[in-house]
Amino acid sequence: MTNRTFVMACLTPLFIFSLLFLALPLGRLFLASGEGDAGWAVYLDIVRKPRYLNTLVLTVLVSLATTIAALVVSTTAGMFLVRNRFWGRGTVLSVLTLPLAFPGVVIGFLIILLGGRQGLVNQLTPGHVVFAYSAIGLFLGYLYFSIPRVLLTVMAAAEKLDPALEEAARTMGASPYRVVMDVIIPGLMPSLVASGAIAFATAMGAFGTAFTLATNIDVIPMVIYTEFTLSANIAMASALSIVLGIITWILLLIARSLSGSTVAGGG
C-alpha cells in the first residue's frame, strides 16, 4: 500500500461517519424546515410572528447580559490570578474552572438551590424572594457556565502579555488607569472578543439550563423543544434550529479566528 492510499484509508472512517450522521441529517433538517404549511416562508415567520420574535429578542438580551457580566468578572479575576501568587491560588483556580463540564441541567438545579422556593436566598432573606425561574435565574445559570470558559481564554492571553509593555508605559508616566486602558485591554482584545463570542454562542444555544429553569419564560432552545414535542410543528422547530445553528457557528468561527481555540460545550 502506498503512503497516499494509507493516509486516505485513515480518513475514510471519519468521512463515512460524518457523512452518515452529520451531513445527511443536517441536509434533512434543512429540507424539513421547508416542508411545513408555510413552506420556506417559515423563516419569515420567525421575524413576523411576535411569539418567535419576542423569544429571539429575549434570548439575545439574556445572552448579551451574560456575555458582558462574564467578561467583566472573568477578566478581573483572570488578571488577578495571572499577576498574583498567593496561598490558595490553585484552589481558587480549580473552583473557577470546575463547572466546565457540568451539564446544563445540573447548573439549572444549582441555581434553583440558590434562588428557588427552597433556595438559599429565600431562606436567608425576609419575604418571598424567588428568582430562579425568571430571566434573572436564567442569566445567573448562563453566567455560571460562562465564567470558566471566559476565564480560561482570558488567562491564557494574559499569561502571554509581556509585562515589559506595562513597565514601559509606566516609565513614560502612565497612570495605572491609563496602563489598563492603553496596554492591557488592547493586548487582551482578541481573546476578549473571542471568549465573548464563545459565551454568547453558548448562552444562545443552552438547552439544559433553560430546560430546568425556563418554566415561565421562553428562550429559543425551549421554543424549538416545545414546537417539536408538544406542537409537532416540525418545520418551525427545524427552521429555528437552523437559524440558531448558523448564528452560533458564525460566532464560534469568529472566536476561533481570533484566539485559535475554543472551550465549547453544551450549557
Question: Is there a contact between 79 and 158 (Cβ–Cβ < 8 Å)?
Answer: yes
Q: Which is nearer to other proteins, 94 or 216 (CB)?
A: 94
Residue with cell 464560534: 252
Choices 42-50, 57-65, 187-195, 220-228 (CB under 8 A): range interacting with other proteins: 220-228
Contact region with other proteins (CB under 8 A), list: 25-33, 40-48, 57-65, 184-192: 25-33
**Per-residue x/- mask for other proteins, residues 36 to 65, rule CB under 8 A?**
------------------------------
Q: Count the residues of the shown chain that bind other proteins, applying the rule CB under 8 A.
A: 88
* Interaction of residue 97 with other proteins, rule CB under 8 A: yes
- Closest contact distance (angstroms) between CB of 134 and other proteins is 17
Give the nearer residue to other proteins in terms of CB position, either 123 or 164. Answer: 123
Can you tell me which residue has the cell 423563516?
A: 43
For residue 226 the three cell numbers come to 416545545
Site string for other proteins, 109-148 (x = CB under 8 A): xxxxxx---x-x-------------------x--xx--xx
Stretch that binds other proteins, among 14-22, 36-44, 57-65, 187-195 (CB under 8 A): 14-22
Candidate ranges 12-20, 43-51, 54-62, 185-193; the one touching other proteins (CB under 8 A): 12-20
- Least distance in Å: CB of 49 to other proteins? 20
Q: Of residues 100, 130, 161, 193, which one binds other proteins by CB under 8 A?
A: 100
* Residues 223-262 contacting other proteins, CB under 8 A: 224-225, 228, 234, 237-238, 241-242, 244-245, 248-249, 251-253, 262
CA 31 to chain centre: 27
| Residues in 170-209 that interact with other proteins by CB under 8 A | 176, 201, 204-208
Per DSSP, the residues of the chain read --HHHHHHHHHHHHHHHHIIIIIHHHHHHHHHHTSSTTGGGHHHHHHHSHHHHHHHHHHHHHHHHHHHHHHHHHHHHHHHHHH---TTHHHHHHHHHGGGG--HHHHHHHHHHHHSTTSHHHHHSSS----TTSHHHHHHHHHHHHHHHHHHHHHHHHHHS-HHHHHHHHHTT--HHHHIIIIIHHHHHHHHHHHHHHHHHHHHH--HHHHHHTTSS--HHHHHHHHHHTS--HHHHHHHHHHHHHHHHHHHHHHHHHHS-------
Phi-psi region of 232 (alpha: psi -120 to 50; beta: other; left: phi over 0): left
CB of 252 to other proteins, least distance (A): 4
* Nearer of residues 8 and 44 to other proteins, judged by Cβ: 8
- Find the shortest distance in angstroms from Cβ 113 to other proteins: 4
